[in-house]
Amino acid sequence: MSESELSRKLKEDVTRTIPVWGAESVTLAGQLGMKATSTLLAHIETGGDTALLALEALRFADKASYDAIPVHKRAQIYGDALQKNLFYNTWGVPGHQLTYTADAFVALGEEAIVILEPLLSEKKIAPLEGSEDATTAVIYGNRICDYAWVFIMQIKNRKYTYYQDPAERDKAITILQQELQKD
């Protein structure tokens, strides 16, 4: 396996909308270890569709290099992906079970909140693939703002109730927005 194979796999996984945890490129990067770092950093620096997979692959393959990327840059990559995903399996099911990728975004703390706060107003539907997860997402009417709200609540280490009715979640989101404006 080579770095050019890794670059090809990153592009292929993005085209097929493979979530991070199922991406062959992330597995390949883990096998390559530090040999994958330069390829992954190039994709991260270039930005675009492969940046999230490259960032997550770097986190698994070379944690020290992942940690060396400025927190605001990592937060921006996660935030851009959250805003632009076609399917949201990479992030998990808000209010129920989040993924390691969601946990990595949350771990960025205050820098993540800066990126997530504007997404609290983003009402775009956030669909999931797969029978059970997709059904749950439809029943709850999950939106990007719901992910942003859950992530911020976790960053702030606050308890919350993930109501089935989006209108109830909207009330909690509004309260959080008002609190963030005061901070």
Residue 57 has pLDDT above 80, yes or no: yes
pLDDT grade, residue 18 (50/70/90)?
confident
C-alpha 111: how far from chain center: 14
Length of the chain: 183
Contact at 8 Å (CB) between 147 and 160?
A: no
In angstroms and rounded to an integer, the radius of gyration of the C-alpha atoms of the chain is: 16
Q: Distance between CA 176 and CA 154 in Å, rounded?
A: 12
pLDDT in tens, 60-114: 999 999 999 999 999 999 999 999 999 999 999 998 899 999 999 999 999 999 9
The secondary element (H helix, E strand) that includes residue 98 is: strand 97-98
This prediction's pTM? 0.94
pLDDT at 1 over 60: no
